[in-house]
Homo-oligomer: A and B are copies of this chain.
Amino acid sequence: MKTRYGIEDEAFIRGDVPMTKREIRAMLMVQAKLSPSDWVLDIGAGTGSITIEAALAVPEGHVYAVERFHKGIVLIQENCKKFGLTNVSIIEAKAPDGLADLPALDVIFVGGSGGALPGILDQAERLLKPGGRCILTSVTVETTAKVTEELRHRPFTYEGFQMQVNRLRKAGSYHLLDPLSPITIITAVKNKE
């Protein structure tokens, strides 16, 4: 079976927790360049939608999902059950807490840093294998600048882009454009020495 990115938004149980939309989630997966045996960490997992996509892509690997809010933890559990996943471990903690005992990792998604970006990147540096990838997303102007400021002094090579999606929505025989919130995706690869 071949993994295909871009699960429909409606496929996830999500309550009222905000969720990374399909097109953006798929792009995060593209940036991650996952291999089937990769070990992955999803920080600020929210509903678990990124965790689920990643776990489906690493059937021989594992995904750790870290989430601080209990409401999110329950959703991640329910979504893992819905998608029949057994390669996910859920950690209820506010990162960088909860990351001390993790093994070496191939990919780390940082979706919600809640102001703790330096500590999270310290852990990312420690946990990532050389050549490992950190995919950081930002939906605020401040976080984008904090990410670039932090990465400048760390052993990562990075690139990034802002992405905006306007969905076509039928209105009679016309199509309006429904805008999604723009997001900035920064991909930082840990230097190999």
Contacts and interface: CB of A to CB of B under 8 A. Distances in A.
A175 B148 contact: yes
A34 B141 contact: no
Copies per assembly:
4
Nearest to A26: B30
User: DSSP class of A's interface residues: helix, strand, loop or mixed?
Assistant: mixed
Contact of A148 (B5, B142, B152, B164): B142
A166 B161 contact: yes
A143 interface: yes
A123 interface: no
Contacts of A181: 166, 176-179
A6 B5 CA distance: 13
Interface range on chain A: under 10, 10 to 19, 20 to 34, or 35 or more?
Answer: 35 or more
A177 B182 contact: yes
B164 A2 contact: no
A130 interface: no
Contacts of A171: 140
Interface of A: 2, 4-6, 23, 26-27, 29-31, 33-36, 139-146, 148-149, 152, 159-168, 171, 173-182, 184, 186
Given A4-B35, A166-B182, 11 more contacts: A140-B177, A141-B141, A141-B144, A141-B177, A142-B148, A148-B175, A159-B168, A161-B166, A161-B167, A162-B182, A176-B181
